[in-house]
Amino acid sequence: MVPARNIAIIALLALGVAFLPRGGDFAAATLTAITMGFLAAMTFAVIGAARANRLTLDSLTDRHRWVLYGALGVIVFLIAGASRMFSTGLGTLAWLLLGAASLFGIWRVWQESRSY
């Protein structure tokens, strides 16, 4: 039953693109709504994880907390500026390097928090 429902949702969206005037705008609006929903879900997941791990976050040193929050902030800016950064080769390279550095920073903080 679930696959039929999913196919019906996709068909409904395709009908909007195919038969509504300015269907491309409808598609862009739909994609924007889906993206906003995804980002909101990610935000609530991060908030829930932070609340569940409050003691762990509070037990980090100031330096580790700065690295963790800084890396998360860079990731937020990378998501926000992805379309502009991917428009050039240098921007794509910078996006990849900043993303890798942020993930490495988060991984190092996690490793240090688990060592005694």
pLDDT tens digit sequence for 6-23: 899 888 878 877 887 877
pLDDT given for residue 82 in this prediction: 92
What's the pTM value of the predicted model, to 2 decimals?
0.68
pLDDT given for residue 101 in this prediction: 97
Shared domain check, 37 and 73: no
pLDDT tens digit sequence for 33-90: 988 999 899 999 989 999 998 998 888 999 999 999 999 999 999 998 999 999 999 9
Domain range for residue 100?
53-116
52, 75, 93 — which closes off a domain? 52
Q: How far apart are the C-alpha atoms of 93 and 36, rounded to whole Å? A: 26
What is the sign, positive or negative, of the torsion defined by CA atoms of 72, 110, 53, 64?
A: negative
pLDDT given for residue 17 in this prediction: 77
pLDDT given for residue 29 in this prediction: 85
33, 52, 71 — which closes off a domain? 52
Helix/strand/coil for 90: helix
